Structure 1
Amino acid sequence: MLKKIDIDYLWEGLVLCFDVYDSSGRVLLLNKGETLTDEKINKLKKFNPDDCRVSIDYTYYDEIMSGLDAPVFIRERLFEDNFGYTRLCHEIESLFSMWVKHRYIDSDKAMQIMRAIYKKSEESSFADILQCIQAPRKKQDKLYRHSLNVAFLNAKIGSWLKLSDEDIKMLILSGFLHDVGKIKLFSALLNSKGMSEKEEIEMLKKHPVYSYDMLSLYGRFDERVCMAVRTHHENMGGGGYPEGVESDEIPVFGRITSLSNVYDNAVSSESYDDKKNCFTVYRQLYEQEFGGLDMQLVNIFLKNMMKELVNTEVLLSSGKTAVIKKMFSDSLDYPIVDFNGYIRKTDEELYCKQIFIK
């Protein structure tokens, strides 16, 4: 019996223990014993571009889908697809593309996405969400992944603050819509000629206002959401943009979205080196390295994050895995872990790289 599998779940170097047929199961494409190469995988995709699936013996389907022998990027893809993260990213991309085509943000569709994120956030641990956040980002997907990540982070922070369900839902909207103004800016930047890097940066700083204007256009979005997207780049001590307001002039939803935005940008693949990861970012938040954030919110975020990550499996710099047993606020980048029954504190030589992708 044959079963269909997405070609994206196959990888270069996989030695086939099965014959590979087209999605109909009638045409033999690759023979058992062959080793997959990128060229062979691309040929499989081109065989039927409208259905990027192949058929394999059902007895091997679960083995492939378990991802146990797969490279990290395949395990990440499997986890995100099963989690529902990939679908939510596509939904946000579809929502944003409405502005490009119709100069309109569909509030009904936005509400549907918000409810789906709210449900997923309620039933998911912080560690599950971190597995999605820490994954590398393709350039074309960065805006949509970032928007979804900020929505999830806003939801968790709202929950930790014990806000009402309605407030948390508005925070989720604020999260995935905070950068929607960049869609308008991308077109302007593509059409700009001879613009200097400094001029481009100044133009990008207009995106909170564009986001606010796009959401306020027909008055269908809650004013708390509109003001959150407008103020998520303001600083508590002043000097932010677009208005340079400070402290209590920045609404709470704006401050929460600012924290989520800073955290997600800090752990994104563009800011990674071998020793920079989410644990390093926790320490940087504690030491106020980013500046401009509401430290009361930061402390609540860190306190709850430390609780949530206890008993979470992590990948160590040695390539082995361990389980977090305790974290301390003054050394957040070096948790105490259980390493094969041996309890030890991580350090510069043996440190936590990321949440382990299961």
Structure 2
Amino acid sequence: MIKIETKQLQEGAILAQPVITPLGQPLAPAGSAVTRQLINRMKLYRVEYAEIEGEEPAPQEEAPKPVKEAKTYAQESKTHSQKVAGSSEFRTFQIEYVQAIELMKQLYTAAIKDNKPIDSQKLLGSVADLFQSRNTIVEMFDMLYNMRTVADSVYAHSLNVALISRMIGRWLRFERHDLDILTLAGLMHDIGKLLIPSDILNKPGSLTDEEFAKIKQHPALGYEILKRQPDLDSRIKKAALMHHERCDGSGYPTGLTEDYIDNFAMIVAIADVYDAMTAARSYRSPLCPFEVISKFEEDGFQKYHTKYILVFLKQIASTYQSNRVILSDGRGCTIVMLNQNALSRPIVQFDDKSCLDLSTASRDLYIKAVL
């Protein structure tokens, strides 16, 4: 039997003794396997150690450990971003990403100017390479975040929406054919913006009412472009037309309600909003995933299909379980447990091992960045 500190526990180890909180609450019986959830609960209830099966190793003299200084938000975020950007995986992703954008440019320009058919299989191949080359969802989002410098906003945004939409489809357990159609719907949802003057699309300041009215034409413009593509699935065309419609009727161009909005358009809408909010704007910095989740929660979910938005938000939040984050007051901490009724405000643990339930904290204190 070995006594192991909670922070050093490994998943899969077998408990030799039950795990009990300092107040006598049982967390796990003897003989059960250690899981990530158990480790997080032990940290939350300040259980300092567990006794697991095995033999105590012979004692070895340990060299004194150097004292680590706490890193600031800027230092931590810069270090993580640099690590991602300097990896060989990111360089490969960057090349494939830019190649996919160039292919979109060629095919969309030919479709708009010369009414040529869009080679959807070519497009799918480029996106599939990007999607399948990532080991985890976190890695995918890290890659997308580091591609924010790409200037072709319509194309880059559409590619991001396609990748995020495909993730949602996988979380919803869609079959391969539907996943491919959903991916294409994300790729083409904003094609109508290519007919909007670039000085309006890229205007750094606020849009006038007249300019915003022109922006709001892009769903109908995109639908007209895709209508001339006879081989495209109708759901791709509807996603272009309906991705700004909202289930409560507050969207545009027609103010449709949930019963009249295509399902794929509702999924693309969620991916579209998520990518837009996590991108930098002239009037604000990019929002972190938990700030975006908070925005969706504030809307009360009435704008989006309940099943789709809940699956998406739960998966996004779960993706960052055990991740290092920075709070709005600059403190670094680690997510140890999600609050299912307040996904944007999980339980976090600080470097001194103390924990805080953000759902009970002041609204001024929230997760500002994910590392």
- Whole-Å separation in 2 of the counterparts to 1:69 and 1:162: 33
Match of 1:284 among 295, 305, 308: 295
Match of 1:242 among 250, 253, 257: 253
Aligned counterpart, 1:115: 125
Conservation of the 8 A alpha-carbon contact between 2:322 and 2:336: yes
- Whole-Å separation in 2 of the counterparts to 1:319 and 1:189: 36
Aligned counterpart, 2:167: 156
Q: Residue 184 of structure 1: CA displacement?
A: 1.6
Residues 1:219 and 2:223 are matched in the alignment: no
Aligned counterpart, 1:310: 321
- Whole-Å separation in 1 of the counterparts to 2:238 and 2:331: 45
Conservation of the 8 A alpha-carbon contact between 1:126 and 1:309: no
Conservation of the 8 A alpha-carbon contact between 1:89 and 1:148: no
Q: Residue 232 of structure 1: CA displacement?
A: 0.5
The 5 A counterparts of 1:1-358 are 74-75=82-83, 77-78=85-86, 81-82=90-91, 84-85=93-94, 87-100=96-109, 102-104=113-115, 107-108=118-119, 110-122=120-132, 123-135=134-146, 137-138=148-149, 140-186=151-197, 197-270=208-281, 276-288=287-299, 292-316=303-327, 322-340=333-351, 342-345=353-356, 351-356=366-371
Map Cα deviations across residues 211-232 of structure 1 (whole Å, 9 max, x no partner). Answer: 2222232313211111111110
User: 2:304 aligns to what SS in structure 1?
Assistant: coil
Conservation of the 8 A alpha-carbon contact between 1:178 and 1:211: yes
- Whole-Å separation in 1 of the counterparts to 2:180 and 2:159: 13
Q: Residue 103 of structure 1: CA displacement?
A: 3.9
Which stretch shows the higher mean deviation, 279-288 or 129-138? 129-138
User: 1:221 aligns to what SS in structure 2?
Assistant: coil
Residues 175, 124 of structure 1: alpha-carbon distance in 2 compared, 3 angstrom cutoff: farther
Cα-Cα RMSD:
3.5
Aligned counterpart, 1:50: none
Matched residue type, 1:242:
P
Q: Residue 94 of structure 1: CA displacement?
A: 3.8
Matched residue type, 2:90:
D
Aligned counterpart, 1:39: none
Q: Residue 104 of structure 1: CA displacement?
A: 4.7
Map Cα deviations across residues 84-104 of structure 1 (whole Å, 9 max, x no partner). Answer: 155324422442254446445
Aligned counterpart, 1:37: none
Aligned counterpart, 2:8: none
Residues 262, 155 of structure 1: alpha-carbon distance in 2 compared, 3 angstrom cutoff: same
User: 1:270 aligns to what SS in structure 2?
Assistant: coil
- Whole-Å separation in 1 of the counterparts to 2:104 and 2:284: 33
Matched residue type, 1:354:
A
Give the structure-2-normalised TM-score. Answer: 0.65
Q: Residue 240 of structure 1: CA displacement?
A: 2.2
Q: Residue 283 of structure 1: CA displacement?
A: 1.9
- Whole-Å separation in 1 of the counterparts to 2:368 and 2:279: 13
- Whole-Å separation in 1 of the counterparts to 2:301 and 2:144: 19
Q: Residue 69 of structure 1: CA displacement?
A: 11
Q: Residue 135 of structure 1: CA displacement?
A: 4.8
- The answer for unaligned runs of 5 or more in structure 2 is 1-75, 202-206
User: 1:140 aligns to what SS in structure 2?
Assistant: coil
Residues 307, 137 of structure 1: alpha-carbon distance in 2 compared, 3 angstrom cutoff: closer
Conservation of the 8 A alpha-carbon contact between 2:168 and 2:267: yes
Q: Residue 162 of structure 1: CA displacement?
A: 0.9
Conservation of the 8 A alpha-carbon contact between 1:228 and 1:254: yes
Matched residue type, 1:114:
L
Q: Residue 129 of structure 1: CA displacement?
A: 2.6
- The answer for unaligned runs of 5 or more in structure 1 is 1-67, 191-195
Conservation of the 8 A alpha-carbon contact between 1:151 and 1:173: yes
Aligned length: 284
Q: Residue 175 of structure 1: CA displacement?
A: 0.9
Conservation of the 8 A alpha-carbon contact between 1:317 and 1:353: yes
Conservation of the 8 A alpha-carbon contact between 1:185 and 1:204: yes
Conservation of the 8 A alpha-carbon contact between 1:95 and 1:106: no
Which stretch shows the higher mean deviation, 137-146 or 157-166? 137-146
User: 1:84 aligns to what SS in structure 2?
Assistant: helix
Residues 341, 247 of structure 1: alpha-carbon distance in 2 compared, 3 angstrom cutoff: same
Residues 246, 325 of structure 1: alpha-carbon distance in 2 compared, 3 angstrom cutoff: same
Conservation of the 8 A alpha-carbon contact between 2:247 and 2:257: yes
- Whole-Å separation in 1 of the counterparts to 2:276 and 2:196: 19
- Whole-Å separation in 1 of the counterparts to 2:193 and 2:234: 20
Matched residue type, 1:115:
G
Residues 275, 104 of structure 1: alpha-carbon distance in 2 compared, 3 angstrom cutoff: closer
Question: Rg bigger for which structure?
Answer: 2
- Whole-Å separation in 1 of the counterparts to 2:85 and 2:116: 29
Q: Residue 113 of structure 1: CA displacement?
A: 3.3
Give the structure-1-normalised TM-score. Answer: 0.67
